[in-house]
Amino acid sequence: MAENQTSQDKSEKPSHQKLKKAKGEGQAARSKEFTVGVLFIAIALFLWAYGHYLGEQAVKLFTINYQLSYDDIRQPDIMLRKLGESVQLLGGLFIPMAAVLILVTILSSLIPGGWVMSLKLIKPKLSKISPIEGLKRLFSIKSLVELAKSILKVVFIGGVLYWLLSSNLLSLIAAQRAPLEQGVALTLNHLIIAIICFGFVVLLIGLIDMPYQLWNHIKQLKMTKQEVKEENKNTEGRPEIKQKIKQLQQQMSQRRIDNSVPGADVVITNPTHYAVAIKYDLSRAGAPFVVAKGEDEMALRIQSIAKKNDIEVLCLPPLTRAVYFNTRIDQEVPGPLFVAIAHVLTYVMQLKEYKQTKKVQPTPLPTLIIPNELRHD
């Protein structure tokens, strides 16, 4: 009863940490049928591409060994030479195919669950020889799925085998009576067709099985809400994780500042502790709004970017602190600060015009009124 309750409580998806740990222990979603199906098809394609060469090698191998006379057998040097030639031909037959099989097996096993390499896979487990655990596995959903797959393989492969034999029986008999080269070629063609058919049947079963394996893998690794809380607590409490989170937050802030500040109308500063970039765009908001803000290093970064983009930087400590502490990014400045911000924007426009025309100097900024409830002295 307790075990059922625990299983029911596991309603949360496995975390990245748990998935990574499971992979390190050799647990991954795998479909053996998918790998075997791909392997069969790869063998068939290899035989189709290099069948002529393999047929020639096979004919040479048969010729070398069937042309031995009684006198040749009694000559050690001749037998050693024939053995060397046979080994060389066998190598030419099997080494390329073995290389293809190994490569395809590795690549096809990567598709469902990625590369998994763990010594824990070969570590002996007492649960594997436990009668109770064996009974549990015998009557589990996984066993029923494996039984269903076995039945499908027997039915489909048996049907394909019957179809191949019934439709190619005369051709197979003719291949036995044909000359050696022709017989090998005919047999190889039938073999390629049979392997392709078997491969597609097993691959189809594997494609049906793969979603179940992924679902079952996630289901087995599901976590309770308490496990999620404990993992988050343990993860976030580690110094290196905290440092990593802080670095990521800083990088995100820097990217946001780099993208936002060049579009600002003015930057007001404290001058070194705080900096706020403000923009007035009626198409985006009905009042001036904050596009970026920062303190200390970020404040200096905002000022640096502003200067590089010819944006006015004004040292207005009280107004800067008021806007900084009372306004979020992409939020309009508080209503009581509208007049002060309007004076600043007007001054900036006049200053830009003066720099371009050198005619009318801007009107100096008046004393900016900051309401007491918004001050942060």
- pLDDT (tens digit, 9 = 90+) per residue, 76-122? 777 777 777 777 777 777 788 788 888 887 777 666 655 555 555 45
Residues 196 and 265 in one domain: no
Range of the domain at 156: 26-116+126-222
Comparing 305 with 70, the larger pLDDT belongs to 305
Would you say residue 133 lies in a domain? yes
Comparing 55 with 32, the larger pLDDT belongs to 32
Would you say residue 12 lies in a domain? no
Q: How would residue 191 be classed by pLDDT, with cut points 50, 70 and 90? A: confident
Would you say residue 56 lies in a domain? yes
CB 346 within 8 A of CB 338: no
**Distant-in-sequence, close-in-space partners of 167: CB < 8 Å, separation ≥ 6:** none
In the chain, the number of structural domains is: 2
Would you say residue 89 lies in a domain? yes
Q: What is the DSSP string of 331-354?
A: -BPPGGGHHHHHHHHHHHHHHHHH
Domain harbouring 327, CATH code: 3.40.1690.10
Comparing 22 with 154, the larger pLDDT belongs to 154
Q: Is the pLDDT of residue 314 over 90?
A: yes
Residues 47 and 135 in one domain: yes
**Would you give the end-to-end CA distance of the chain in angstroms?**
63
CB 10 within 8 A of CB 175: no
Q: What is the pTM of this model?
A: 0.45
Would you say residue 121 lies in a domain? no
Give pLDDT, residue 1.
Answer: 41
Residues 179 and 264 in one domain: no
Would you say residue 243 lies in a domain? no
CA distance 75 to 82: 11
Residues 313 and 369 in one domain: yes
CA distance 53 to 64: 17
Q: Specify the amino acid at residue 280.
A: Y
CA distance 167 to 161: 10
Residues 71 and 148 in one domain: yes
Q: What is the SS3 assignment for 311?
A: coil
Beta bridge partners of 223: 12
Look-up: residue for tokens 């494996």? 146
CA distance 322 to 290: 12
Residues 190 and 300 in one domain: no
Residues 71 and 188 in one domain: yes
Helices (H), the chain: 2-9, 16-24, 32-66, 70-73, 76-113, 131-138, 141-177, 180-220, 225-237, 239-260, 297-308, 317-326, 338-357
Would you say residue 293 lies in a domain? yes
68-to-81, 82, 89 alpha-carbon distances in Å? 12, 9, 16
Residues 59 and 202 in one domain: yes
Residues 76 and 208 in one domain: yes
What pLDDT digit, counting tens, does each position of 326-339 carry?
Answer: 999 999 999 999 99
Residues 197 and 48 in one domain: yes
Burial class from Cβ neighbours inside 10 Å (0-12, 13-18, 19+) for residue 284 reads: exposed
Beta bridge partners of 315: 269
**Among candidate residues 177, 202, 222, the one where a domain is terminated:** 222
Residues 199 and 59 in one domain: yes
CA distance 22 to 29: 11
Q: Is the pLDDT of residue 3 over 50?
A: no
196-to-44, 50, 71, 165, 201 alpha-carbon distances in Å? 6, 15, 45, 15, 9
Give pLDDT, residue 133.
Answer: 57
Residues 44 and 94 in one domain: yes
Comparing 144 with 293, the larger pLDDT belongs to 293
